[in-house]
C-alpha cells in the first residue's frame, strides 16, 4: 500500500512496515534506533535500485536490436557551460594576434628557448631535486641558486645573457607549491599553484632517466583564448623542431582548469599500439594569474586573475 508522505527526506516506496504520515528518520532521538532505521531505509533503496536495473536490462534484451542507445552519463566535462571565449580555429583576429604577440619570435623560429630555473630563497631538498629533474626534462635549462636576489633585478641580467624564460619554483614548508613562469624579453608572466609533485624515485614502474634529446610536446584541451595563451607559453619552453629524435614526450593536459604535466618515453609496437613508460617528474598546475609584461606584481597589469569566489559560483564553468 502506498502511503502518502509530505516530508522532503523520506522513504517513498512501498515499505514492508508502515509509517505514520509525518515521519522522518532524523526525528528519532535514540541514536541506535535511528541508525537501525536508517540502515533499513538504505537497504530498501538499494533493493529498489537493483530491481529497476534488472527490469531495464530485461527490457533492453527483449528489444534486442531496436533498443534505444545507452545514455551517456553526465560528467562535469560534458556539462561544461559553453565559454564564449573559445577560440574558433579560423578566427583571423586571433590568428593575427598570435602572429604578432610576444611569442611570435619563437614560433617563427627566430629564437631558441633558454630557461633559467631557480627557487625561492633557501630551498629544501625536495625542491632542489625537483628543480634538477625539471632541468633534465627541459632542454637547455640551467638551475641557479637564488641567493636572496630580487626578481626584478634578476630579470635584466637574464635578458642580457640571452635567456628566454625565467622559472621560479616557490617553496613552502619544504615542498614546492608555486611557480612563476616569466617569458623574458617582455613577455607575459604566469603564476601557478603547483601541487601533487612526484619526483622520479617516487614513481612506480618508471623507465630510465631522460636523455638529452628534445622531447615532443603535447598540449591537450586548451580551448579558450586564455587557454591558447597558456598553450603557447608552455610550447615556447621547448625547442621548436618537428623532426623528433628520441622518443620522449612532455604532455600538458588541461582538465577542469588544472594542467597536468607528465613526461613519457614511447615506443610504437606496431601501427596501432604504443607502449609508454613514465619517466621524469609529474606535477599539476593551476593558473593563478597572468600578467602582461615581466614580473611586477605591484604595478603590473594583469590580463587574468583567478578570483576564487567568483569562479566557485558555477561548477561547470572553466577558464582555460
CA distance 176 to 130: 8
Beta strands in 184-246 (DSSP E): 189-198, 216-220
Residue 93 binding other proteins, by CB under 8 A:
yes
Q: Which residues contact residue 243 at a Cβ distance below 8 angstroms, ignoring those fewer than 6 apart?
A: none
- Site pattern 198..217 for other proteins (x: CB under 8 A): --------------------
Among 183, 200, 206, 225, binds other proteins (CB under 8 A): 225
User: Please, what is the Cα angle at 129 between 194 and 238, to 5 degrees?
Assistant: 65
Of 9 and 91, which has the nearer Cβ to other proteins?
91
CA distance 280 to 284: 13
Residue position matching grid coordinates 624515485: 201
Of 234 and 304, which has the nearer Cβ to other proteins?
304
Which span (46-54, 90-98, 247-255, 275-283) binds other proteins, by CB under 8 A?
Answer: 90-98
Residue 186 binding other proteins, by CB under 8 A:
no
Among 96, 145, 266, 268, binds other proteins (CB under 8 A): 96
Residue 112 CB neighbour total at 10 angstroms: 14
Which span (61-69, 137-145, 152-160, 294-302) binds other proteins, by CB under 8 A?
Answer: 294-302
CA distance 233 to 248: 20
Containing H/E element for 306? none
Q: How far is the CB of 101 from other proteins (least distance, A)?
A: 9
Q: How far is the CB of 178 from other proteins (least distance, A)?
A: 18
Which span (162-170, 243-251, 273-281, 296-304) binds other proteins, by CB under 8 A?
Answer: 296-304
Which span (46-54, 194-202, 269-277, 297-305) binds other proteins, by CB under 8 A?
Answer: 297-305
CA distance 165 to 236: 9
Pick from 242, 219, 244: which is nearest to 232 by CA?
219
Residue 91 binding other proteins, by CB under 8 A:
yes
Cell representation of residue 95: 590568428
Which chain residues interact with other proteins by CB under 8 A? Answer: 84-85, 91, 93-94, 96-97, 100, 225, 292, 298-305, 307, 310, 319
Amino acid at each position: 500500500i502506498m502511503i502518502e508522505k509530505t516530508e522532503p527526506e523520506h522513504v517513498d516506496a512501498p515499505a514492508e512496515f508502515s509509517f505514520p504520515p509525518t515521519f522522518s528518520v532524523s526525528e528519532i532521538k535514540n541514536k541506535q534506533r535511528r541508525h537501525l532505521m536508517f540502515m533499513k531505509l538504505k537497504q530498501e533503496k538499494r533493493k529498489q535500485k537493483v530491481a529497476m536495473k534488472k527490469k531495464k536490462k530485461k527490457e533492453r534484451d527483449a528489444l534486442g536490436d531496436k533498443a534505444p542507445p545507452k545514455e551517456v552519463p553526465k560528467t562535469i566535462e560534458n556539462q561544461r557551460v559553453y565559454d564564449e571565449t573559445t577560440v574558433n580555429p579560423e578566427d583571423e583576429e586571433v590568428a593575427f594576434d598570435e602572429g604578432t604577440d610576444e611569442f611570435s619570435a619563437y614560433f617563427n623560429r627566430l629564437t631558441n628557448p633558454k630557461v633559467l630555473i631557480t627557487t625561492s630563497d633557501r630551498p629544501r631538498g625536495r625542491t632542489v631535486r625537483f628543480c634538477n629533474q625539471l632541468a633534465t626534462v627541459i632542454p637547455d635549462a640551467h638551475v641557479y641558486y637564488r641567493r636572496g636576489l630580487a626578481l626584478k633585478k634578476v630579470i635584466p641580467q637574464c635578458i642580457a645573457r640571452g635567456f628566454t624564460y625565467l622559472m621560479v619554483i616557490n617553496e613552502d614548508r619544504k615542498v614546492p607549491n608555486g611557480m612563476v613562469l616569466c617569458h623574458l624579453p617582455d613577455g607575459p608572466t604566469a603564476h601557478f599553484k603547483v601541487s601533487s609533485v612526484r619526483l622520479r624515485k617516487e614513481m612506480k614502474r618508471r623507465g630510465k632517466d631522460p636523455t638529452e634529446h628534445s622531447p615532443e610536446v603535447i598540449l591537450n584541451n586548451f580551448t579558450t583564448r586564455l587557454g591558447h595563451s597558456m598553450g603557447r607559453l608552455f610550447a615556447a619552453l621547448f625547442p621548436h623542431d618537428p623532426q623528433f629524435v628520441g622518443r620522449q614526450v612532455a604532455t600538458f593536459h588541461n582538465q577542469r582548469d588544472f594542467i597536468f604535466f607528465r613526461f613519457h618515453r614511447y615506443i610504437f609496437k606496431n601501427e596501432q599500439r604504443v607502449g609508454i613508460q613514465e619517466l621524469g617528474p609529474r606535477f599539476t598546475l593551476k593558473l593563478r594569474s597572468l600578467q602582461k609584461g615581466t614580473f611586477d606584481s605591484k604595478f603590473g597589469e594583469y590580463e587574468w586573475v583567478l578570483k576564487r569566489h567568483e569562479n566557485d559560483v558555477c561548477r561547470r564553468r572553466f577558464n582555460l
